[in-house]
Structure 1
Amino acid sequence: MDLDQYIRFLMALVFVVALIMVVAWVMRRVGMAGGTVRGRARQRRLSVVEALPIDAKRRLILVRRDDREHLILLSANGDLLVDSAPAAGFDTALARNADTFAARPADAAPAGSPQ
């Protein structure tokens, strides 16, 4: 190959890369870029708060949607909604359950325990 062919190849490569960048910029300006919602003062309604891998095949995901949080277990066998609570949170729900458990009468001992 001559030097002339290398230069032509390099110029064609630069042209194609520049063309891809121009098309991507135009698509973003038009609003065709992936998944973004354009609108007046529109806030995102869905977000992933936290993700925790349990093992190689399972993970827990905490998703916030509007004013609720959902704890989802993702696995190869399928997805499972573990819990759902107001966005004030699982901390509030846990505290409320702990208060309910503490307020239980003492004579209501668990079954099978000696009295």
Structure 2
Amino acid sequence: MLDILYYLAIFAFVAASIVVGGLLWRSYAEGVSPTAGLFRARQEPRLDVVAQTNLDGRRRLVLIRRDDTEHLIMTGGPVDVVIETGIKDGKPVVSSGVVVEPTFSRPARTAGKTEA
């Protein structure tokens, strides 16, 4: 019975030594303190793909968020194109409790033709 506990203690010591050695090697390779990897806060990612949709077999529209600003990009054609940049966020603007819908400068299309 004591032999099993003895071998289990040796195995635990070797496993702990490997883990500590790996942490020390990682901190040495990154050039930071050994405890910095254990206790540092995780950074929020600065870049995120919000939405994407296929236009056709080759082209795709991608909405990318970077630092609370969104950019609309078309990829996959002969040249990648930035369609719109500086979009603050995709949420409707709330002003004094009233939701403000976006307005468009183009007039609405009328269906049908008028005869003279």
TM-score with structure 1 setting the length: 0.45
More helix per residue: 1
TM-score (normalizing by structure 2): 0.45
